[in-house]
Amino acid sequence: MTQIAVLPGDGIGPEVTAAAVRVLDAAHPGLSFVEAPIGANAIATVGEPMPADTVRICSESAAILFGAVGGPGHDHLPPDKRPEAAILGLRKHFNLYANVRPARVFPGMETRSPLRSELVDGMDLVFVRELTGGLYFGEKTLTKEDGHETVRDVLIYRDYEIERVARFAFALARMRSKRLTSVDKNNVLLSSQLWRRIVIEVAKDFPDVKLEHMLVDNAAMQLVRDPRAFDVIVTENMFGDILSDEAAMITGTIGTASSAALNSAPDANGFGLYEPISGTAPDIAGKGLANPIGAILSAAMLARYSLGDEAGATAIERAVSETLAEGPRTRDLDAAGGASTNAVADAIVARISKVAA
């Protein structure tokens, strides 16, 4: 029996992850789910954000279904002891170098976007974000120099790190519309100059994919001007973090935003970590108000990329699309009659079960 590690984490993480487990179990029966602590929950129970037993359970599993980590009360801790260190640690430990973040406007959701509905109708793009290099993983120092506090965050990229995520992005673009936009800051940063040079070299192995280069500030503007002009976007760690959140909000709510962190090609059925990007949302945690769709769509990605179950992934995505169009919807999408987290999950499971029957 295939094992899936379930790391609910903090805030709304346990609620949305439980919903995702139910939906994945309906679409792909026969899985076993093993839960383990992570983040602030793990700090409270075992004293550290990423316990060794949790890492072991993940190592024994085909994939990780992740909730969220973070919350108040840990700012006094050093960075490597805070809840957020757990997700960075898992990415590094399992070499999860490619972060796939779709940004899609589902039918009926066009008016939820902060942009005019005609600008987002049919929007369906994917970010491929390099996930284990760059500023987030470079050396960090805070010292006194000449009487002034001086901070350094070191941005490090190695050629192979850029090459492998570029190859991943080209392969994914080949599976979609064969269009790839590489985002960098080539006019200022030496790291971006290396990035662009390597992407151009990799492009020679994918002559059927049309490659475009775009500076990150221009990319931020073009996403607002015409998000439908993009299909697959590949970029470095921090740029991808920021731009993918921008794209998620363009769709109308971050509550439907899913992600996968993978350590192999998109068609390799490899190991991955799957999580919604909505965060812990402590203000609504435990109230049954959280939108579970980001977690549920992450489970669909798990079915596709780690289980090789395209039919199961498609069934989840179809059930989500129908539920968004017909209801019920959570409060972030329907302020007047928002349904509970469990009610939305029930509706999606029912639609999957109906098709299966």
For residue 202, give every residue at least 6 positions away whose Cβ sits within 8 Å of its Cβ, in sequence order, or none: 163, 166, 167, 170
Number of Cβ within a 10 Å radius of residue 1: 5
Please answer whether residues 103 and 67 qualify as being in contact, where contact means their C-beta atoms are separated by less than 8 angstroms.
Answer: no
Tell me which residues are annotated as active site: 136, 185, 217, 241, 245
**Which residue in 211, 256, 261 sits closest to 107, CA to CA?**
256
Calculate the CA 351 to chain-centre distance. Answer: 25
Q: What would the two tokens of residue 42 be?
A: 């793990």
Please answer whether residues 328 and 344 qualify as being in contact, where contact means their C-beta atoms are separated by less than 8 angstroms.
Answer: yes
Number of Cβ within a 10 Å radius of residue 132: 22
Between CA 204 and CA 202 the distance in angstroms is 5
Between CA 150 and CA 112 the distance in angstroms is 43
| Residue 265, burial from CB neighbour count under 10 angstroms (0-12, 13-18, 19+) | middle
Number of Cβ within a 10 Å radius of residue 356: 11
Please answer whether residues 351 and 317 qualify as being in contact, where contact means their C-beta atoms are separated by less than 8 angstroms.
Answer: no
Q: What is the 3-state secondary structure (H, E, C) of 283-297?
A: CCCCCCCCCCHHHHH
